[in-house]
Structure formats: structure tokens, C-alpha cells
């Protein structure tokens, strides 16, 4: 069992970090926090706007600062942005302060899930499949570097993925704040 206060979800856009994270938070009785949403709340600007005005480097610096604050706070299920692992400082923060789960999905699954999503700056132009393949080749080794557990979300609805992942987590994650074993949420 690995002790950690936070359950941190990393993985590519479309892998289910937000939707599965919300379900896991309910199962474990923890708050859910989406780091992209927190960056937007703190800056008063959307992620695409930050990318447009400050570039990816500016966004990553804001993301690292936000994650440092969140990881110093109360226990939570924390969904990171898909590129959070690009920053070495962020990778150190995640590995040192959370039980990190790499939510994985293959490119065809990601394409299907993101087909109607127009909010992702990195998918705004060009060949989406080629972009997702390039991102996977760049980021998969970094997800592996920080992950305590890899969980494949392909072909699973968020609630089912959360139930299966919670079962695995009950065997390998010991929250340092002491939480109950995952239970089915009340209907």
C-alpha cells in the first residue's frame, strides 16, 4: 500500500480524468478538483485564452503554481491537464504529493471522445489523429515516470471505469488522511 493524501489523475485529453475523477471522488468521499478549472478561476481567463496570450510555457508555469497550492491543501481527487507532466517541476510535485494514476486510452478512443470538442487548444488546427499520436509519443513516457498505477479507460463508461479503478485502488492506495474504502454512491 502506498500512502498519499491526494489521488492524482494524469493522462491525455479525452482519457476521462474529469469524468472518472468526479465519480471516484464520490466513491471515496473526497472533493474533486480539476486543475485546468482552478487555473481559470485564479486567472479569470480560459485555458485557450491563456495559451493565446502567454503561450504554452506561460500556461505551464501557472499550472505548476496552481498544482503546488492544491497539493499542499486538503485531500482530494485531482485531475490534471493532459500536459501537466511536461514540466519537470510539476512531475516532482505530483510524484511527491499524491498517488498518481495514469488514465490511458488508445488514439481511436480519444478521437471518438473528442470528436465534437472544440475547446482544446492543441487540437484546434491540423490533423487531430496525428496530433494525438504525437502527443502520446511525447507524453506517455512522462506519464509512466510519475504513475503509481496505469488504468486503461478505453471501452468503459466513466461510472464503470471509476468502479473498476476504485477496486484496484483499494488494494494499492492507502490515503494518509484515512478514508473509508470505496463504496457505491447513494442513488
Q: What is the pLDDT of residue 147?
A: 97
DSSP letters, 44-109, are TS-HHHHHHHHHHHHHHHHHHHHHHHHHTSS--EEEPPTTGGGSHHHHHHHHHHEEEEEEE--HHH
Q: Can you give the C-alpha Rg of the chain in angstroms?
A: 16
pLDDT, tens digit (0-9, with 9 covering 90-100), for 132-164: 999 999 999 999 999 999 999 999 999 999 999
In this prediction, residues 77-87 reach a mean pLDDT of 95
| pTM for this entry | 0.89
pLDDT band for 186, please (50, 70, 90 cuts). Answer: very low
Task: For domain 2-173, give the CATH superfamily.
Answer: P-loop containing nucleotide triphosphate hydrolases (3.40.50.300)
Locate the domains of the chain by residue range: 2-173
92: annotated binding-site residue? no
User: Cell numbers 490515503 label which residue?
Assistant: 175
Closest listed residue to residue 20, CA positions, set 170, 166, 162:
162
Residue 136: count of CB within 10 angstroms of its CB: 17
| 2 annotated as a binding-site residue | no
Nearest to 96 by CA among 74, 68, 77: 68
Whether 17 has a binding-site annotation, put simply, is: yes
Q: Is 133 annotated as a binding residue?
A: no
In this structure, what DSSP letter does residue 4 have?
E
Q: pLDDT class for 183, splitting at 50, 70, 90?
A: very low
Is 120 among the annotated ligand-binding positions? Answer: yes
* 93-122: pLDDT as tens digits: 999 999 999 999 999 999 888 878 777 767
Question: Does 16 show up as a binding residue in the annotation?
Answer: yes
- The annotation status of 82 as a binding-site residue, yes or no, is yes
Amino acid at each position: 500500500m502506498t500512502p498519499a493524501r491526494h489521488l492524482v489523475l494524469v493522462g491525455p485529453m479525452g482519457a476521462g480524468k474529469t469524468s472518472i475523477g468526479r465519480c471516484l471522488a464520490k466513491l471515496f468521499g473526497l472533493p474533486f478538483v480539476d486543475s485546468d478549472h482552478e487555473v481559470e478561476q485564479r486567472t479569470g481567463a480560459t485555458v485557450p485564452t491563456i495559451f493565446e496570450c502567454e503561450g504554452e510555457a506561460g500556461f505551464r508555469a501557472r499550472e505548476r503554481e496552481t498544482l503546488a497550492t492544491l497539493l499542499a491543501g486538503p485531500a482530494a481527487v485531482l485531475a490534471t491537464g493532459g500536459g501537466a507532466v511536461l514540466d519537470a517541476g510539476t512531475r516532482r510535485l505530483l510524484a511527491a504529493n499524491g498517488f498518481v494514476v495514469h488514465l490511458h486510452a488508445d488514439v481511436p478512443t480519444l478521437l471518438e471522445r473528442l470528436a465534437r470538442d472544440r475547446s482544446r487548444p492543441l487540437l484546434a488546427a491540423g490533423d487531430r489523429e496525428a496530433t494525438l499520436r504525437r502527443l502520446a509519443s511525447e507524453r506517455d513516457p512522462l506519464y509512466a515516470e510519475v504513475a503509481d498505477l496505469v488504468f486503461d479507460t478505453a471501452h468503459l463508461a466513466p461510472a464503470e471505469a471509476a468502479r473498476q479503478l476504485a477496486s484496484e485502488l483499494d488494494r494499492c492506495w492507502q490515503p494518509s488522511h484515512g478514508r473509508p474504502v470505496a463504496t457505491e454512491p447513494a442513488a
